[in-house]
Amino acid sequence: MTPRFRNFPVLAAGLALLAAIAAGAPLAQAKNEKSGALARMAAQAAFNQFKRDFWPRARRAGIRRHVYVQAMQYMTPDWDVLRRMRNQAEFRLSTGDYVARYASAARIATGRQKLTRLSGLLGAIERRYGVDRHVVLAIWGMETNYGTRMGDHNLIRALATLAFSGRRKRYGRAQLIAALKILQRGDVTLKNMKASWAGAFGHTQFIPTTYLGYAQDFNGDGRRDVWNTLSDALASTAHYLKRRGWRRGLPWGWEVRLPANFPRRLIGRRAMRSVGQWARLGVRPAKAKRFYALKARAWLIRPAGRRGPAFLVTRNFRALLAYNNAVAYALAVGILADRIAGGGPPARDFPASGQQTASVR
């Protein structure tokens, strides 16, 4: 798109403004530039051109014209999305700090309250999908602090901005088509499509393509509303985990004690074997008397290194990784779920802050 406008100074200035914002330049600074007003007008003109150019792709994907016009006609770029995209923190915490932050005392207490208050709903979801109710609650707590932080950006506007400018165009364009399909189906109104800047939405932060594949109308009202209908949101989460391999009655894992001088070559997914085989190698639960599900396949992780706790994890841990492919995330969900269920903290402390890091989204 840029070469088409390169001979037009006003449009070029607009694209330069977009680049400046994406590079982290304060909006006030951009406004104070001599050509700031013209540049913003030009940026909007370039965005309008993008909207026209994107229509054929949307049409081929089955989006009806009136739906596209409703969603896109008066839309402007979301400058905050561009700033956040450029300034997104690599955000690294120690594994212990990550678990402490997301499996905090406050989240545990709130989760236990929700467990009692929503026992009927959680039981029905667990019976239908076979996913542990405590895990469903833990994901809800991790993702939006039980629905209190679901994002305040308009989903389609945020995704259109990502599709238009920056380094996430491919993601933005695929998710924008999916979001338009959600709108077209009538599950939610345009006004109520609230999301994070990156396009995750609802109580448990689905992205549009995941929503299309896994969202559930659990209350039977004809809409899959993961924003305003908690039963739909939690059921959708359970359905996603089931489809990603969750097995009923199997734990996500156990904290374990390893024999002295345990070989490093047996740490990691490549060394997977049955729980019974691990027991014969001297691996023991840190808190329980014995393992169960002895035939289940499992592998060992030491997410904080030799100085931290070790865990024997199952295919259900892998399902949690499908939700967010970070070991620290899946581990925090598992620990938070166990704490909501009434369990205690890990038997072995994590290393002090700064001694080991884990990537956090």
Per-residue pLDDT of 190-217, as tens digits, reads 999 999 999 999 999 999 999 999 999 9
**How does 239-270 read in b/e, with b if 16+ C-beta sit within 10 Å?**
bbbbebebeeebbbbbbbebeeebeeebbeee
Note the pLDDT tens digit of each residue in 302-320: 999 988 999 999 999 999 9
Give the pLDDT mean for 28-38.
Answer: 55
Domain contains 232? no
Domain contains 226? no
Whether residues 360 and 288 fall in one domain: yes
- Phi, psi at 40, each rounded to 5°: -70, -40
Whether residues 258 and 343 fall in one domain: yes
Query: In the prediction, which pLDDT does 42 show?
Result: 76
- The pLDDT confidence band at residue 354, using thresholds 50, 70 and 90, is low
Q: Which residue has the higher pLDDT, 345 or 5?
A: 345
pLDDT above 70 as % of the chain = 86
Domain contains 350? yes
CATH number of the domain to which 355 belongs: 1.10.530.10
Domain contains 284? yes
Distances (CA, A) of 64 to 3, 59, 169, 288: 30, 6, 22, 57
Q: Which residues does 25 contact at the CB level (< 8 Å), separation at least 6?
A: none
- The pLDDT confidence band at residue 27, using thresholds 50, 70 and 90, is very low
Query: In the prediction, which pLDDT does 35 show?
Result: 56
Domain contains 189? no
- Take residue 316 and report the two structure tokens written for it: 């259900």
Give the pLDDT mean for 173-181.
Answer: 98
- Phi, psi at 108, each rounded to 5°: -65, -45
C-alpha span between 214 and 310 (Å, rounded): 33
Helix (H, G, I), strand (E, B) or coil at 237: helix
C-alpha span between 166 and 224 (Å, rounded): 31
Residue 288 near residue 78 (C-beta atoms within 8 A): no
What is the number of residues in the chain? 361
Note the pLDDT tens digit of each residue in 92-128: 788 999 999 999 999 999 999 999 999 999 999 999 9
Estimate to the nearest angstrom the gap between the alpha carbon of 96 and the chain centroid: 20
Helix (H, G, I), strand (E, B) or coil at 247: coil
- The pLDDT confidence band at residue 4, using thresholds 50, 70 and 90, is very low
Whether residues 281 and 345 fall in one domain: yes
Query: In the prediction, which pLDDT does 360 show?
Result: 38
Range of the domain at 264: 91-149+247-361
Query: In the prediction, which pLDDT does 359 show?
Result: 40
Q: Which residues does 126 contact at the CB level (< 8 Å), separation at least 6?
A: 132, 133, 136, 238
Distances (CA, A) of 289 to 113, 253, 257, 262, 279: 29, 15, 12, 20, 12
Asked if residue 31 has pLDDT above 60, the reply is no
Helix (H, G, I), strand (E, B) or coil at 313: strand
Helix (H) or strand (E) holding 127: helix 119-129
Whether residues 160 and 286 fall in one domain: no
Domain contains 269? yes
- Phi, psi at 64, each rounded to 5°: -75, 150
**Residue in the structure block whose two tokens are 């049409």:** 59
Q: HSE of 233 in the Cβ direction (CA atoms, 13 Å)?
A: 22
C-alpha span between 266 and 272 (Å, rounded): 8
Domain contains 255? yes
The alpha-carbon radius of gyration of the chain (Å, integer) is 24
Residue 172 near residue 159 (C-beta atoms within 8 A): yes
- Take residue 135 and report the two structure tokens written for it: 């895990």
User: Whose CA is closest to 315, among 238, 257, 270, 253?
Assistant: 253
Whether residues 95 and 124 fall in one domain: yes
Q: HSE of 295 in the Cβ direction (CA atoms, 13 Å)?
A: 1
- The pLDDT confidence band at residue 356, using thresholds 50, 70 and 90, is very low
**Residue in the structure block whose two tokens are 């892998």:** 318
C-alpha span between 62 and 41 (Å, rounded): 31
Number of domains in the chain: 2
Q: How far apart are the first and last CA of the chain?
A: 31
